[in-house]
Structure 1
């Protein structure tokens, strides 16, 4: 004996928490945009799914380093949509359902599904209504991974219009008086998403932002270190202030409240205990621009002038930052910054400021070439120079073509080449070709899967490849220090600009406008399809 079930006609629920995936194929709009970045995190919007009455948002989270103890909770990843009419909807909103006072016109934004992995997560969000016409702003934030609030604006009018292209699969199905809308379990991305509020519980019974009574430092996140009462409660519960894994004083010095630092500094066995890299809590405070925390550590007896990493001490490091006045009076003669060295820091900062921090770099490769003009660089690549810079070019239209198209801009003393969606300008073969017959070049590739990589070439030969943008260690070249790869102070560090300034400096160039990288270029050049540069 067999039985069967018949799908009934789609009946719009008005504000369904899930898309009508049984009845429609959504209109899919390709769209790639960086919507959030942190020291070890890049978050990209990768496309839209537009249903008849609602909106799907696809995102990807890329890590280059996994930190133990940074999970979900209230300091996890969260997204907010600001609609053109002023309404806001967030993944942190409680699931009100039919709760009293719920406004029917308020949409919901929920995690629908995705995929999980150590260094990559796919995230699928669903907004239960289409956006109104006008701008649609996505706000991204992840406190646990030091991803600050970032706002990205999209065209809500275009998204709303795309709903007309959603394809109905069963237009002739019979109607039914009642219709059950089912959701499905999500796996993977929920482990990194911040947990929504729970509206059903009275305020005192809601889960605390950070567990206070644990006898360890797990799950603290930025919110925990920012709350001295949490630190005190953990210590009272038996958490070890000298924990060699959690390094509580290091974390508090970097991102915590001054009172939390003072509390821990008073109970650790050694205020100058070092991590595996040799860094102390004072080092972390300097690197993060935490002036008040640094002052508390100094008052607690922290050593400012013993070298900790390479030849650098926390105090000498501070003399190159806005924290200099706090340390200058106690600086011994050997720790002071020479005028020539200080000028190098200032020049590096000035070049980084030209590029800024808002410049989109994910997935691009850039080559700074000195001693070679733009026309000669194109000739050495055996490319055809036939696209004016004013002509619109979409590198995502044709992937095969995007591997061959290069933007070229003349700058004093040389030229800058950019590939918007390929890594060719960081390869040995391309850089060797660009410097054949003389000149020097530095190519850099911002890998969207994590990491920033550079290659130096001169006189037709690639000489050195390296990863850049990470805090320098014992064996790092001096240029990594000069370009502030160690500086996590959001008020000073120009994230994208620092790496580009370093590459520019290594090539021996000085660039006076960001257009050389941001575009539009002076010309588009196209590598020939049979070029040896494209061989695997």
Structure 2
């Protein structure tokens, strides 16, 4: 092995052998190339199952094991749970490690003398599974025994012995690509989360057609409104063809005029308003096509509907009518009835809209909110908030903390920034500041706090707490209904106009307003906080 050819490189940089450093609970894949040893050996069999070891990846201080599981036929029960597939390794020095052992690394938070065996991942299917295990330490010289068992598939306990000495020798062929660099977790670099090879691969050129391909993209001769897509609602020829084929312009489920008013072209809206029974027909939410046009900022579509006699001033949800909504947008000039317009919004309401828009503008359009949690706190200054959280501020002048370089630790670290009337708390990669425990802790003894979490899996969730008590939980950013608080209307959660809406900035503005704050600088959310503070490892705030 030691004399094997690694490969020819066009660069003058040489790969160098890596020196052993101890326990590796995960393979150091970032800047290392393991020694790869193919090996095909059956390590377990049952009536309908065969398990093979297919190769080893030998790292400087650890060992990855690749296995394949083949099944004769698919089963409804895949054999998981307590009777599922399990592996154990016995080492020559008497140590053992198994896939059913507790995760010592995650529970202790540091290296242990005992090796661990964990499932790293693999592939799955009805008839074949690929499995990758990782042994956190190189086996000592002598035999290495793999024990395989799968009670649910009648695979009995099977012992297979390998040469641990040969595997240990192979570790000398593991190479380090950048021997002059510290480990990545010691560097101050962002960007650990990646999208895989697609980030760096050159992409094939897309083919664009100069003419619309209607037969391929939108079917014209359907007697319904299915599969229209955005292209169909913009093309009057498609709409005419659907109507001629028997599509119902008053279809209560498809709501063709509503959809066209929101995302279609003025020509399509005009085509449909001529044939619908009632241009002011309401949908299940109680709103009209004109309402949809206003909410989506579709100025030309709204003009077509108004010319067709659409009712602008009848309230549709609560006290809100299409015209009343429009008076707060760039579509206001379309609704030229000065008498009606003057009676729709009070000076106080107009001032609230202006304040909401101004606060959203502070946070800005380019705001990155994915995965962050923010708590706006009034009546509590920054020092007192840190005390109530029982956190320890980082020393003044210490090296700037970067949560993107310390994902696991980031759940315990909170950014704190003083603002007029209170403070703002920030966690860039964790949801903790929207939890009941955090918000009640920071308001116990007085104060008001609104915590908001932008869930990367979907939805934005807010919680209001005052004087140590949670008062309300809600999902924010959704179109409001009659039960929605006034702030949903004021902060424009109904407005889908791409030219006007500040999207997530409006959600932050709402949260700020609910806490009773007004902020003139986005740094508290979109910059470096005044200070980072760390919760104690056993803090009750981490258990919510």
Picking from 229, 234, 239, the partner of 2:237 is: 229
Q: Which has the higher contact order (CA 8 A, sep 6+)?
A: 1
Equivalent position of 2:36 in the other structure: none
Distance 2:510 2:331 in 1: 23
Equivalent position of 2:254 in the other structure: 246
Contact 2:416 2:533 in 1 (8 A): yes
Picking from 266, 282, 288, the partner of 1:274 is: 282
What RMSD, in angstroms, separates the aligned Cα atoms of the two structures?
Answer: 3.0
Equivalent position of 1:411 in the other structure: 419
Equivalent position of 2:475 in the other structure: 467
Picking from 384, 388, 392, the partner of 1:376 is: 384
Equivalent position of 1:210 in the other structure: 218
Question: Can you give the 5+ residue segments of structure 2 that lack an aligned partner in the other structure?
Answer: 1-5, 8-26, 32-122, 125-175, 179-204
Equivalent position of 2:500 in the other structure: 492
Contact 2:417 2:425 in 1 (8 A): yes
Distance 2:451 2:380 in 1: 14
Distance 1:249 1:332 in 2: 26
Contact 2:327 2:341 in 1 (8 A): no
Further displaced range: 386-395 or 331-340 = 386-395
1:367 matched to 2:367: no
Contact 1:389 1:520 in 2 (8 A): no
Deviation at 1:232, TM superposition (A): 1.5
For 1:32-431, list aligned pairs within 5 A.
207-329=215-337, 332=340, 335-386=343-394, 391-431=399-439
Distance 1:292 1:203 in 2: 25
Equivalent position of 1:79 in the other structure: none
Distance 1:442 1:449 in 2: 21
Equivalent position of 1:157 in the other structure: none
Distance 2:255 2:264 in 1: 13
Distance 1:206 1:380 in 2: 63
Equivalent position of 2:71 in the other structure: none
Greater gyration radius: 2
Question: Can you give the 5+ residue segments of structure 1 that lack an aligned partner in the other structure?
Answer: 1-8, 11-24, 30-113, 116-163, 167-194
Deviation at 1:398, TM superposition (A): 3.4
Distance 1:475 1:330 in 2: 30
CA separation of 1:26 and 1:277: change in aligned 2, threshold 3 A: farther
Q: What is the TM-score when the length of structure 2 is the normalising length? A: 0.61
Deviation at 1:390, TM superposition (A): 8.3
Equivalent position of 1:138 in the other structure: none
Contact 1:426 1:444 in 2 (8 A): yes
Provide runs of 4+ in structure 1 moved above 6 Å. 25-29, 202-206
